[in-house]
Amino acid sequence: MKVFNLESKPGKKVFGYIDMFEYPHGTIEKLPVALIEGKEDGPKFLLSGNIHGDELHGLVALQEVIQELDPNKIKGTIIIFPTLNPGGLLTLTRTPFYAKKDPNRLWPDPKPKDKPKLKYQDPYDENLDEDNFPNVQEVFYTKLYEIFASVDYYIDLHCHAIQSVPYSYIDRIYYDEKKEGDEIVAQEVFDKTKSLVESFGLTMVLEGPPRSYFEEKLHRSTTGSFANKLRKPGFTVELGGAFIVDTNIIKAAKTGVYNSLKWAKMLEGEIEKINNVKVLDEEIWREINIRSKHSGFFVTVVDIGEIVEKNQPIIEIRDVFGGVKETITSPERGAILAVWDDVKCYPNSEIGVFLIKNDIDVIMPWEYEKKEEKKG
């Protein structure tokens, strides 16, 4: 398989770099890539990490996967980008120093476009629309997407919060109501993605409610674009906190990656249960925000990931002397997925997220808003 100027070789590991763009002073930003091809034919599997430069678990897990995989035991080809954001990695920042847009919102947009018809068109409207002028990182990702389009499966490794249960995000899958059979295709993509996520072995969480999914441009994330534009199984894994490397999380991530390769029939062996981190595998969950009503200091009174019943105390908001100002209770049966890397809060602060059973559609039309009927 060829990836820009690099070409994989049967039974070999090939390492190299892809030119991303030129810096003003003349040097070239380069993206590292590893190609691992087995001696037997099989699927093409893409793995990536560190698209947010301060999120290190994916980088380290993929480094170890690269070193441990034996090409002689693989069927097919594995492409690994240990960092999709080398500029952000150097500065340990979410975005690179040369482009301040979130790099995980810059991938090809799968959503059908309907530009509004304007009564008055200013010739400078298009000139001022920033979507018409992508930054250097987005331009490169558009080129890199040709490689994404050539693979069968994809996993992107991220980080969430220090106090969080490692988990897998499943993107919503959308369909065009005007396109015959598209809903069936969307359902097939979701079902296969869910099967792949189950094989990985972490807690399964549905990505964002419909409105926030688009407002946050999650359909233009790596896996949101992959699943909805390319119609192939791919998902995001969230592995604990940024800035740190936890060996238990690295072990869990590697087990999950190998499980997925086994699921794809690229590695021999049985799927292994992840038992060194908390896994809530009884169903697909969805997130809701946990917010405080008072200023103070928030402290959990149950373990992160512990299943609790409705109205059970989960977090206390305390004053500086430890007095309890507010007790937050669980809205439904579920568990705290994460609380943020802080202890301070203010009225209406989002201090974490809670998991509840998913009871809303995961397959939806692109135009999911209810239209008002015109009166005759």
Closest to 85 measured CA to CA, from 100, 64, 67, 68: 100
Q: Check residue 132 and give its pLDDT.
A: 84
Can you list the domains of the chain with their CATH numbers? 2-263 (3.40.630.10), 284-357 (2.40.50.100)
As given in the structure block, the two tokens for residue 41 are: 């034919």
The sheet with strand 313-318 has its strands ordered as 324-329, 313-318, 296-300, 344-345
- Average pLDDT (235-255) is 96
HEC readout, 138-152: HHHHHHHHHHHCCCC
Banded pLDDT at 71 (limits 50, 70, 90): very high
Query: Which amino acid, residue 127?
Result: N
Q: How far is CA 132 from the centre of its chain?
A: 25
pLDDT greater than 90 at residue 104 = yes
First vs last Cα of the chain: how many Å apart? 59
Per-residue pLDDT of 118-162, as tens digits, reads 777 787 777 887 888 999 999 999 999 999 999 999 999 999 999
Give the pLDDT confidence of 307-335 residue by residue, as tens digits: 999 999 999 999 999 999 999 999 999 99
SS3 content of the chain, % helix, strand, coil (to 5): 25, 30, 45
Q: Among residues 147, 149, 136, which one has the least CA distance to residue 106?
A: 136
Question: What is the rounded distance in angstroms from the CA atom of residue 249 to the CA atom of residue 27?
Answer: 36
Residue 371 confidence (pLDDT) above 70: no
Work out the average pLDDT over 19-46.
Answer: 97
- Name the residue type at position 198: E
CA angle, 75 then 80 then 84, to 5° = 160
What lies within 8 Å, CB to CB, of 23 at 6+ separation is: 29, 98
Distance of CA 286 to the CA centre of its chain: 14
Residue 373 has pLDDT above 90, yes or no: no
Chain segment 160-219, per-residue pLDDT in tens: 999 999 999 999 999 999 899 999 999 999 999 999 999 999 999 998 888 889 889 999
Q: Which class for 95: exposed (0-12), middle (13-18), buried (19 or more C-beta within 10 A)?
A: buried
Query: pTM of this prediction?
Result: 0.94
DSSP, residue by residue, 185-206: HHHHHHHHHHHHHHHH-SEEEE
Q: Phi and psi dihedrals of 215, rounded to 5?
A: -60, -35
The secondary structure of residue 123, as a DSSP letter, is T
Angle at CA of residue 318, ends 208 and 286, nearest 5° = 15
Question: How far apart are alpha carbons 77 and 226 in whole angstroms?
Answer: 18
Which amino acid, 244? I
**Side chain identity at residue 168, one-letter code:** S
Cβ contact 61:47 at 8 Å: no
Q: 32 pLDDT band (50/70/90 cuts)?
A: very high
C-alpha 328, offset from chain centre = 29
Q: What percent of the chain has pLDDT over 70?
A: 98
Q: Is 115 exposed, middle or buried (0-12, 13-18, 19+ CB in 10 A)?
A: exposed
**SS3 category, 92:** coil
> Among residues 255, 251, 253, 43, which one has the least CA distance to residue 158?
253
Which residues, including other chains, have CB under 8 Å from residue 42's CB and lie 6 or more apart?
74, 75, 76, 77, 264, 265, 266
Tell me the DSSP string of 289-357. EEE-SSSEEEEESS-TT--B-TT-EEEEEE-TTS-EEEEEE-SSSEEEEEE-S-SEE-TT-EEEEEEEE
